[in-house]
Structure 1
Amino acid sequence: MTRFVMAGADQEVLLHHMAFYGLGDILEEADVDVLLTWEDGRPVLLGEGLEPDVIENAVRAHVEGRREWVAQTNDDGRGTMSPRLTAFTADEQWQSHQTGREEILDRLAAQHRWGDLRYLAALGEPSYWSVNRRNEVLQDDGASRFEMQPRNRGSEFVGNRLRPLAEKLLVRKPGQIVAGLDGSAASDELGGKPDSVSATGMTTPGPVDSALVWCALWGIGWFPLAHRVSGTAVTSGHLGRSRREWFYVPVWRGRWRPARARSILASAQLRDAASTGLTDEHDPLGGRAASTWLRARGVAGVLRFPIGRFGSDNAPERRALRAEAIPL
């Protein structure tokens, strides 16, 4: 069994957890029987024949396979599958947008693209059903909290993040994708400056490899979203609201298949354990039961990432800060 170590990863940075999940999902789609584990604070993927060229080809094929729906836009040029968009002001805009979304979803379903459908369901969509007391549509209420693309100047997630990443990655020379994933040679084609925000909120500003970002953004698909008739959708792996928010993830012993990781990430037990010490979230009795349940499944600890808000109130930038460890 071959090991691939994401040697440049930092366990206290959310980006590297998300890239671990995204890469695991991409390899599973490529029919690699992959296992996920942690060794000395580094994510490790294991599988028969998991050589660098296998990983390189799998990621490249994955990016190529998403180009069709990533490139599709509404009449105004905005990404059809973006979960947060500048507000629609007319029924015709909503109808055109929904028609475009449904065409993509129907096409993916007909092609049995279950990974794409799981991802888009987790990413969310503009909320036409959530309104405030003045009957104004709260359009962002249907989006994943992991989708942190800043909204200044009308930017949006698919058109301003996924599409440019896909274009850059597909013209990389052989070996450059896997070099970015193992940390041996990072290249930030979208930013590159000391204050680069290419990580899209998954960590604080700074240069970061584009392949790592693609995998991290794809990792959002492992965090299911539960819509509400009124109010913000509930995102797995997220706690709190407004200016008191956190993301959380597990660290485990042993080797997990992707399905095991997805089930733990979405579990109420992980949420209960992660809410330790948050007076408005935590149930002490439930927390003890959750810790017992998690330990029995190999979870060694939980990391909680405070979410900072920066910039203006009109278009704030949300970023996951360094992790704090939650004891089980």
Structure 2
Amino acid sequence: MSITVPVDVHDAFSHLFLVGLASIVEEESPDTYCALRWERAGASATVLTSNPMDLDDISVCVHAHVSKYNNLLAMTSDGKYDGGTLHATMSPRLSNIVEASGWQALHDDRQAAIDALDSMGECRYFGALGQPSYWSGRVSGSSHALQADNGASRWEMVTRNKGQEFISGRLRKLSQIVADFSLERIRAGISGEIEADECGNEKSNSRTATGLHAPALTDNVRAWCALIGVSAFPVIPSVCDSRDSTAAMFQISKKGSYAVLPVFKEEWTLARFRSVSRSAALLKAGVSIALAANDSDFTVHDDWLAERGVITCVLFRQFISDNKSAPERWLERGTFTPVKGSAR
């Protein structure tokens, strides 16, 4: 059984929408496996399910998923960890915690929220977001010595102006809105029949996509799926003096930040996508493409990627605004580089 939905292979948001949608179906229907396939040169994609599921069935999965997340302790828990303002416990970036008591309270609340999770999908998602780092930076009397953002996912791109944070400022609000949708509204959002941005007040420069593409009106059902798609990209904790590595995202000194995603020749499963997106091979390919930016004939030669059906790598440069105190970030439209293995 399958459904076909409109997407844009040049848009990182579309990639994560597909990954998130398939992740939701597999989480809500544990005996079902999904496969995905790009169609019409990346203008649409097919979602195939091992058990018979039509668009209505998939809409039920999305509604059940967002309704469940809306009530998770991980979504609703708050604390005054900096001594004054309420902050969402599971937001991956909280930079104003200074006192040891604040870090202890955050640790205790996070553990309680994590212990309350009851599915692999939930654990995978909140784990992939990362956490405020208490281990990064220098030991000194300066509150700025601690680099708390270093433990967070690079895929979490909420602009940090006016105390904004990911869980309370974006994900929680989006979940509350989508959980109240009818099945018809969810169905229309998945299928692309409508594009409504209730969370972004229907603005043409809405930030609902949270950096997965440039500010634009973004359907809220698709946005929920795309933000769940971040679960495919775990954070790798490190004690280095730089932000921890995040799967499929990297930074090159003096050249900028990028994301790189695979495009497969035929059908691909979530397991294959996760394996490739977390691989050193894909990261190496992305770096080589970024360094060869002016070479239009550049080709990635990698047997490991080719053997797994990757025919193209899509490189997304990250736009960063010039606001030094709270820079805005989003992924620009992707460029394509072919992947080839050794001739045999």
Shared fold (TM-score, shorter chain, > 0.5): yes
TM-score in terms of structure 2 length: 0.88
2:304 is matched with 293
Which of 204, 221, 224 is the matching residue for 1:211? 221
Q: In 2, are the aligned partners of 1:276 and 1:326 still within 8 Å (CA)?
A: no
Shift of residue 182, structure 1, vs aligned partner: 2.0
Q: Residue 312 of structure 1 aligns with which residue?
A: 323
- The CA deviation at 1:257 is 2.1
Counterpart position of 1:55: 58
CA apart distance, 1:273: 1.7
Contact 2:95–2:149 at 8 Å: present in 1 too? Answer: no
The answer as to whether partners of 1:85 and 1:154 remain within 8 angstroms in 2 is no
Q: What stretches of structure 1 move > 4 A for 4+ residues in a row?
A: none
Where does the alignment leave 5 or more consecutive residues of structure 1 unmatched? 282-286
Q: Give the number of aligned pairs.
A: 317
Aligned to 2:188: 179
Q: Report the alpha carbon displacement of residue 173 of structure 1 after superposing the two structures with TM.
A: 2.1
Deviation at 1:185, TM superposition (A): 0.5
Q: Residue 71 in 1 paired to residue 81 in 2? A: no
Cα contact 2:320–2:328 (8 A) shared by 1: yes
Contact 1:306 1:320 in 2 (8 A): yes
1:144 partnered with 2:157: no
Matched, 1:82 2:91: yes
Q: Distance in 2 between matches of 1:210 and 1:229?
A: 37
Aligned to 1:33: 33
| Cα distance in 1 between the residues matched to 2:46 and 2:224 | 18
Among 239, 257, 276, the alignment partner of 1:229 is 239
Aligned to 2:342: none
Identity %: 32
Equivalent residue, structure 2, for 1:259: 271
Distance 1:10 1:279, change over 3 A: closer
Secondary structure of the residue that 2:250 maps to in structure 1? strand
Distance in structure 2 (CA, Å) of the matches to 1:70 and 1:225: 20
Check conservation: 1:274, 1:326, Cα contact below 8 A: no
Q: CA–CA distance in 2 between the matches of 1:232 and 1:150?
A: 17
What is the CA distance between 1:300 and its match in structure 2?
1.5
| Residue in 2 that maps onto 1:284 | none
Q: CA deviation at 1:233?
A: 0.6
Instruction: Could you tell me which runs of 5 or more consecutive residues in structure 2 were left unpaired when the two chains were aligned.
Output: 294-298, 340-344
Determine if contact 2:95/2:147 at 8 Å carries over to the other structure: no
Q: Report what 1:130 is aligned to.
A: 136
Q: Distance in 2 between the 1:241 and 1:62 partners?
A: 37
Q: Is the 8 A contact 2:248 2:259 kept in 1?
A: yes
* Helix, strand or coil at the partner of 1:175: helix
CA distance in 1, matches of 2:189, 2:3: 13
Separation in 2, partners of 1:133, 1:88: 14
**1:268-327: CA deviations, max 9, x gaps?**
11112222244499xxxxx965x2221121111010000001251100110100101122
